[in-house]
Amino acid sequence: MVKDTDIVVIGGVRTPMGNFGGTLKDFMSYDLGKIAIEEVLTRTKISKNEIDEVMGGTTRQAGSGPNPVRTAALKAGIGFNVPATTINNACPSSLRAAILTTHSILLGETKVGLVVGMESMSNIPHLVKGLRWKGVRMGDVVIQDGWSDSNDPFVGYGMGITAENLCKKYGITRKEQDEYALASQKKAAQAQDNGWFDEEVIPIEISQKKNNPTIIFNKDESIRRDTTLEIMSVMKPAFKADGSVTAANSCGLTDGAAAIILTTRKKANELGIKPIFRIVSYATASVENAFMGDGPSVSIPLALSKAGMTLKDMDLIEVNEAFAAQVIANERVLKWQRDKLNIHGGAIALGHPTGCSGIRIVITCYNALKRICKEYGICAICGGGGATCAIVIQAE
């Protein structure tokens, strides 16, 4: 039943995904966020003055200033008087920001909220830890890659090992992972070739060096459309000598941003803007750090139970592909229909700019529902340290 108090989304866009060190490498996270914010405002034709609050997710914050979401909002022309908050909840950050914005609207504190997810993986800095206090009169200085922050201090290792833990827990083979990863690449390539991403992707003008023309970047450059099982099979394990998780069956490293605008159905009607989808329910949960990829198997049932629905009621399922092993593990538990899952490909092909992905999967899910003329979708994402969020949407 349609209600004035329904929380609806009136617009959603994302940037193309840029390879690690690729086309978007010179854009800081807040630059990417600015692009997404500007475009979602343009497409919805909503005045910037209508935005009461901006929330967003970004997880690789070093070198990006004290509040990168605030910076992105201001660069996009949002007023100085509009509060903006950066959320770091690992990979679910931007989806968590959307849930918190929903809370704010339901409480009457916000009428129109803008949520952005953004990440420049290419701009993660290098670090010299301890130099400030110890000083160095003689000897070597170790420069650490800021990527070391992806290691979970509680368990003492990174996310790749948590994927290996899932392989052992669920008996997941290398062949299963490679086959899943190949399917993701093929689905994403098909979606790109057929123009199925065109409506969600923002064309970006990129200035070249002197005397070179400006280029329009409007296609995800991360898709490995020519890969094969034969190519994948010879790749060495990435995280453990005797492991089965490789670069090919893990998410790509990409740069990108995505944004949505949320409000009530009543406010959308007042603005004369037709909602694109309704937020039906959502859930935030946590699982054991060492098995962080298990997250969606917990958050999905929670979100569905709040909606009074089951997985069979979902027309599409969108789960962020941190690792093929992680998706397969969740499939083992939830026993979903594979043909409903990530029908336009997932993060193995499109990449996983961590702060962006929570919103990106929701936008991709909505556009897939729209293409196949279906109604309900559930989106879920796991995160380092065991964080997880899920959301049920209904296309309008």
Nearest to 28 by CA among 64, 82, 75: 64
* DSSP reduced 3-state for 380: strand
> Is the dihedral angle over the CA atoms 334, 339, 343, 346 positive or is it negative?
positive
> Is the dihedral angle over the CA atoms 157, 33, 396, 199 positive or is it negative?
negative
User: What are the backbone dihedrals phi and psi of residue 249, each rounded to the nearest 5 degrees, phi first?
Assistant: -105, 20
**Distance, CA of 66 to CA of 366 (rounded, Å):** 32
Beta bridge pairs of residue 379 = 318, 391
Beta bridge pairs of residue 376 = 394
**Distance, CA of 94 to CA of 256 (rounded, Å):** 12
**Distance, CA of 141 to CA of 182 (rounded, Å):** 42
198: which 2 tokens?
A: 């065109």
Q: What is the tally of helices (H) and strands (E) in the chain?
A: 12, 14
| Residue count of the chain | 396
Beta bridge pairs of residue 216 = 205
The residues assigned a catalytic role are 91, 352, 382
Q: What burial class does residue 25 get, using C-beta atoms within 10 Å of its C-beta: 0-12 exposed, 13-18 middle, 19+ buried?
A: middle
**Distance, CA of 228 to CA of 124 (rounded, Å):** 30
**Distance, CA of 164 to CA of 290 (rounded, Å):** 10
